[in-house]
Structure 1
């Protein structure tokens, strides 16, 4: 009698590894970018109304002129307060907003993961204020409104370099997953400023801003110009105020070297 070998069941196929999205953005950053995009739809308004939004929500140094020649602007006294932040949510054109978002994606992602939504939004507001203050000091009596998120983007870049080059972080050579890389202990400021990689980053960043002057745009009767001083104000605000927002405790080794 013929015998046949028992049929062995085939093993199940191995599960497919989960596919990572191309842009794995934290929710806070995605919401921030979406907010910028929705607000930019104001360019579809009639030109006179569209410019009215710039005058009300843009940052105008002349608005704070206390002399007898002070110029009244739309928005009244309230605009003197909210425009320190709201200017950073407006952009002149599509290329302006795309440029800022492209710079924000790598650095803002790390900062948003590290800070969480509430701290991230507050941090972006504070760095916008830092940029506005720097612009006000260097452009006293100027009537052209300043708009653009570049001061906040610069602040996010400054915050990122406080932990970006630490071992295991997102710019180190031994980085892990994005969430873990964004939570490595930050370097003390003095120690970070001694890191050759941080110094090289600072040299490149300041060189780009001063030589090429890209980023925030001032829109007004005098045409478009670059508000690079606001970038520097936002950058220093992010660099110096980072520790006030950072929820990640420093390691014992880091504290010992502080």
Structure 2
């Protein structure tokens, strides 16, 4: 006689089973890029880009207007006809409109340089944002993503303050969620669970740094991630449109914040260690 519990028949498993907040995030990124590429006239798209993208040089000149000549000198080294002249024109315009646009430290994540760029970010967000959203809920998922986005922008401005290339893409926020997920998704299964299909292992606090460093799978993931992002700094990958930047340093800033912030917002964490 079969003593197994008589569970009801399961309905067909959906092809996509993402948390609602992750689905909404991906849909928003896709919708914005579709509107920009398919619906908006060029002049409207330029205005939207100017309003939302992060421009490091804008912050540099707002903090220290005397660095204008350093910006022009840096632009002169770019071997693009007319580029230095365009930068000089921008500086003259900026002198009449020195608004720093604080919101661009977050809003740049809504823009992407190409369909390849937005699809790439969507895939990684689905893979690593989903476990964070399921474990922590929508608002903590959003907090980690936003904190990573802002931190990535801040590190990019600090490392490349004279850059006249706009920063776009959700990569820094996605990197923060990847780092948060890395704190718990690679944990070995709890002993005594998994022998029966209805036995779900208990959720455990995230791994401490020493535990993570002893976890071979987690360490391998972290090394691959770091090496990949070093390649972003060495090789110009074709994710963005001309004149945009998908910055490895923004990825690094987002990843660091997600990694260290997660234990403080994770509902299953013990006291911060």
Q: TM-score, normalised by structure 2?
A: 0.74
Q: Give, in whole Å, the separation in 1 of the partners of 2:240 and 2:196.
A: 40
Distance 1:84 1:105 in 2: 23
2:51 corresponds, among 56, 73, 77, to 56
Contact 1:55 1:73 in 2 (8 A): no
Task: Tell me by how many angstroms 1:42 deviates.
Answer: 2.2
Alignment of 1:230-249 (within 5 A): 230-249=250-269
C-alpha distance after superposition, 1:86-129 (max 9, x if no partner): 10111112111001111111111001111211111121110001
CA distance in 2, matches of 1:84, 1:181: 39
Choose from 123, 146, 161 the match for 1:140: 161
After TM superposition, give the deviation of residue 58 of structure 1 in Å: 0.6
Q: What's the counterpart of residue 20 of structure 1?
A: 13
CA offset digits 1:120-161 (Å, max 9, x no partner): 112111000111011111111211111001111111111011
Relative to structure 1, the CA distance from residue 226 to residue 34 in structure 2 (aligned partners, 3 Å threshold; closer, same or farther) is closer
| Secondary structure, aligned partner of 1:137 | helix
Cα RMSD (Å): 3.1
Q: Is the 8 A contact 1:155 1:239 kept in 2?
A: yes
Instruction: Kindly state the Cα deviation for residue 37 of structure 1 after the two structures are TM-superposed.
Output: 1.7
- Aligned partner of residue 65 in structure 2, secondary structure: coil
Flag the structure with larger Rg: 1
Number of equivalences: 231
Q: CA deviation at 1:29?
A: 0.7
Which of 124, 137, 141 matches 1:120? 141
Structure 1 segments unaligned to the other structure (5+ residues): 1-13
In structure 2, do the counterparts of structure 1 residues 76 and 218 end up closer, same or farther at CA, with 3 Å as the change threshold?
A: farther
Partner residue, 1:110: 131
